[in-house]
Amino acid sequence: MGINNQNITIKKSTTTKINEVDFSNLSFGENFTDHMFECDYIDGEWTNAQIRPYGPISLDPSAKVFHYGQAIFEGMKAYKSVDGAVWLFRPEDNLIRLNKSAVRLAIPEFPKDLFFDGMELLLNIDKEWIQTTEGSSMYIRPFIIATEPGVSASPAKRYKFMFILSPAQSYYSGEVKVLFADKYSRSASGGVGFAKCAGNYAGQFYPTKLANDAGYQQVVWTDSSTHENLEEAGTMNVFFRVGDTLITAPTSDRILDGITRKSVIAIAEKAGYKVEIRDVSVYEIEEAAKNGTLLEMFGAGTAAVINPIVSFNFKGNDYDLPKLENSYASIIKKKITDIQTGKAEDPFGWKYAVRSI
C-alpha cells in the first residue's frame, strides 16, 4: 500500500544543509533536516497539507498558543538498516497519545491517514539524513499549536500541525544523580500530567534548575498531595529494582503513559523478570537503599531509551546504588534497541516499515 500524497503539496529545497552537519558529533535536538511538514486546521477541518523547506513560520503576536498554552507534541524515532529500509517504533501509539493530549487541551484530533502519509513522505524526502552508524536515528517531533489571533480566554478555532526532523546519536548523559521532590510537583490529580503538553515541561524547569544547582541532574517527581509516592524521573518514567523485582508506578492522570515504559515492561516480563506496577513509596525505596536491596533505578523515555540512575537524595541524605555487571537496565535497553535497529527479531510487532515513494 503506497502513500496517498494527492492532498499534500510538496515544495523541495533547492539546497541542502546535510554537508554542514557533523553526524559524529551531534547535540540532541539542535540540527534539523532540509524539509518540514505542516497542516492547518481552518473552518473545522485539517487542510493545506504541505512539505516545504525547513524554516520559520509566521504567527500573529496574539496567537493563542502564546497566551493560553494550547501546545502539544510527541517524540518519535526512525531508524535505517544497512539495506536502506527505514523503520519506525510503535508509531501508532504516538498518534493515539497525541490525540489523547489534544482532547485534554480542547485541540482537534489529527487524522491517522494524514499523520502517516505526511510523516512518511517527509522521511522519504530527507532519507539521506538518517544514518546507519551504531546508535544513529532520526528524531521526529510532531506538534500542534493554537494559531488563531486573539486574547480572549477560550479554545482557539485555528491550529497548525507540524513534523520536524532532527538527526540523533546514541544518547548518554553520564552518571545521573537525582533528587526526590518534597516540595514542587510535576502534575496534580485531575490535571494534564498524562498529556504531552508544553506547559508540563515549562513547569519542571525551575525545580530542576534548583536540583542542578545542588549537584543533581534530575528530579524524581512525587505525588502532589503527600510527596510520598514516586512517579516520574525528570521527563521520563522511572523504574526501581528491589531485589529481583522491577517496580514502576501505574499510569494515571498525573503520569505520562510512556511508550518506552510499556516496552520495558513487556521486555522484562518476556525475559521472566518479576514486574510490579503499583504505588512506590519514597520510604520503601529509602529503606531498600539502606538495607542493600535497592539494586537499580533508571528512567525510560524516547531520547535515551533507558538512563541509569547512580544515586538519589531524599531530605538531605544521599544514597548510592551498586554498580552491576549485568544490570536489568543494560539488558532491557539492548533488547529494545536491537529490535528498533533490526538486529533482533520483533516478537511484539512494534516495528513499522516506512513506505517508499
- What pLDDT score was predicted for residue 172? 62
Q: Distance (Å, rounded) from C-alpha 168 to C-alpha 315?
A: 36
Ordered structural domains, the chain, with CATH? 9-170 (3.30.470.10), 176-340 (3.20.10.10)
Indicate if the pLDDT at residue 6 is higher than 80: no
Q: How distant, in Å, are the alpha carbons of 89, 266, 335 from that of 271?
A: 20, 9, 10
User: Model confidence over 253-267: pLDDT tens digits?
Assistant: 999 999 999 999 999
State mean pLDDT over 5-28: 94
pLDDT at 173: 65
pLDDT at 234: 87
pLDDT tens digit sequence for 68-112 = 999 999 999 999 988 889 999 999 999 999 999 999 999 999 999
pLDDT higher than 80, residue 40: yes
Per the prediction, the chain carries an average pLDDT of 95
pLDDT > 70 in the chain, percent: 99
Torsion angle, CA of 218/222/224/226, rounded to 10 degrees? -140
pLDDT of 69 reads 97
Are 131 and 80 spatial neighbours (Cβ–Cβ below 8 Å)? yes
Alpha-carbon span 357 to 348, nearest angstrom? 27
Model pLDDT, residue 182: 93
| Gyration radius (Cα) of the chain, Å | 21
Query: Residue 171: pLDDT above 90?
Result: no
4 pLDDT tier (thresholds 50, 70, 90)? confident
Q: What is the pLDDT of residues 148-157, one digit of tens each?
A: 999 999 999 9
pLDDT in tens, 201-252: 999 999 999 999 999 999 999 999 999 999 999 889 999 999 999 999 999 9
Place 1 in a pLDDT band, splitting at 50, 70 and 90: low
Helix %, strand %, coil % of the chain (to 5): 25, 30, 45
Dist. CA 302–CA 91, nearest whole Å:
12
Confidence of residue 2 (pLDDT cuts 50, 70, 90): confident
